[in-house]
Amino acid sequence: MDFRLLEYFLAVCEELHFTKAAVKLGISQPTLSQQIRLLEDRVGTPLFQRIGKRNYLTEAGLTLKEHALNIFHELEQAQTEINELKGMQRGKLTIGCSGNHLLTQTLISFHQKMPGISISVLELATEETRTGLLDNKLDLGVVFLPLDDEQLVSMELYTEELCLAVSSKHRLSRKKAVKLEELIQESLVLFPEKFLVRRMVDAYSKEAGLRLQPIIELSTMDSMLQLVKLNVSCTILPKSYLNLMLHSDIAIIPIVNPVPQKKVGVVYRKQKFLNASMVAFIHELTQTYNSTKLPQKM
C-alpha cells in the first residue's frame, strides 16, 4: 500500500474535513478526495461516512487509522535509531507536563550539556499527555502517577503535596495548617474536572465526607494566584509550584488530616526508542529529584 495514501488518510482523520486536510497537505480538495476514493477501492470498503455536515470514520476507517499510526510510528522509530547510529547531535524533544515549573531546573542543566537539542514543553492535563504519548506527538511526559496504561513506562520522581494558597489578608493566612472541612465556606478557585489536581481535591474531599464547590474554574495556576492575591478567592495547588511563587501577598498553608499527595513521574511509550537526548533528559530529571532509578539506553 502506498504510504502517501496513508498520509492523506491520516490527515483527513485528524481534521475530519477534506478541505482543511487538503490545505494542510498542500494539495487540492478534489485531488485529496480522489486519493481517498482510491484508498477505499484498495481496501474494498468505505473509510468515511458523511452524516449531516460532518464526516465520521467508519469501523473500517477506525481500524485502518490504528494500524496506519503504528506503521508511521515504526518508520519514525527506525529513522531515530539510524540517526542515533550516525551520532546526530541535533534534534528536538517534545514534552507534555502537568506544570512547567516541574522542569525549570532540568531545562537549564540539560541545555547547558546538550545545546544542540531544542525542547518544546506543552503544559497539559495528565490525560492529554497520555494521549499525546500514545499518538506519538510527545516524546516524554512528566505527570501525576499512576498513569495506568500497558503501552506506557513510568518512573517515580517525587511525592507532590497539595497546599492551600490564600491572600495575606485572608482570615486563614496566619494558620499553620488547615483541614479540608475548614474550606467548605470559602470562595474557591480550582482547576476544571479534567485536571488531575482537581480530581485529587474531589477525591480527598469525598473521603472526608464533604464536597468543595469552586466559585470559579480556571485552567492555569498563574490566573488562580492572581485572584488569590486580590483576595477574591483561595485555591489548592501543588506545593512545588507555590514554593516557586513565594510572594508577600500570598500565604501558603499545609493541608492536614489527611495530606493530599500524589506521586509525580516521567512517562514514555514502552516501544519508543530512547535516543541519547531522551536518556540524557530523563537523567537530568532524576538528578534534579535525587532519584537513582535511571533508564538504560536501548
3-state secondary structure 153-220: EEEEEEEEEEEEEEECCCCCCCCCCECHHHHCCCCEEECCCCCHHHHHHHHHHHHCCCCCCCCEECCC
Residue 176 or 100, more confident: 176
Structure confidence at residue 38 as a pLDDT band (50, 70, 90): very high
Domain boundaries, the chain: 3-81, 88-157+263-288, 160-261
Contacts of 103 (CB under 8 A, 6+ apart): 95, 97, 121, 142, 285
Which of 101-105, 162-166, 259-263 is modeled with the greatest confidence? Answer: 162-166
Q: What is the pLDDT of residue 84?
A: 66
Segment 140-163 shows an average pLDDT of 91
Structure confidence at residue 105 as a pLDDT band (50, 70, 90): confident
In this predicted structure, the answer to whether residue 131 has a pLDDT above a threshold of 70 is: yes
- The domain defined by 3-81 folds into Arc Repressor Mutant, subunit A (1.10.10)
d(CA 146, CA 53): 40
Question: Is there a shared CATH topology between the 88-157+263-288 domain and the 160-261 domain?
Answer: yes
CA angle (106, 73, 269) in 5-degree steps: 45
Q: What is the pLDDT of residue 296?
A: 43
Structure confidence at residue 297 as a pLDDT band (50, 70, 90): very low
Question: Do residues 250 and 165 make contact, with C-beta atoms less than 8 angstroms apart?
Answer: yes
Convert the pLDDT of each residue in 268-293 to its tens digit: 999 888 888 888 899 999 988 874 34
Three-state SS at 62: helix
Segment 23-48 shows an average pLDDT of 95
Share of the chain above pLDDT 70, in %: 95
Q: What is the pLDDT of residue 176?
A: 95
In this predicted structure, the answer to whether residue 88 has a pLDDT above a threshold of 60 is: no
In this predicted structure, the answer to whether residue 169 has a pLDDT above a threshold of 70 is: yes
Q: What is the CATH number of domain 160-261?
A: 3.40.190.290
Q: What is the pLDDT of residue 254?
A: 96
Segment 157-165 shows an average pLDDT of 94
- pTM for the whole structure: 0.64
For residue 164, CA distances in Å to 11, 185, 201, 218, 256 come to 44, 14, 11, 16, 10
- The domain defined by 88-157+263-288 folds into D-Maltodextrin-Binding Protein; domain 2 (3.40.190)
Residue spans of alpha helices (H) in 26-94 = 29-43, 59-85
Structure confidence at residue 147 as a pLDDT band (50, 70, 90): confident
Q: What is the pLDDT of residue 293?
A: 44
Residue 259 or 244, more confident: 259
Average pLDDT of every residue of the chain: 89
d(CA 252, CA 242): 7
Q: What is the pLDDT of residue 141?
A: 96
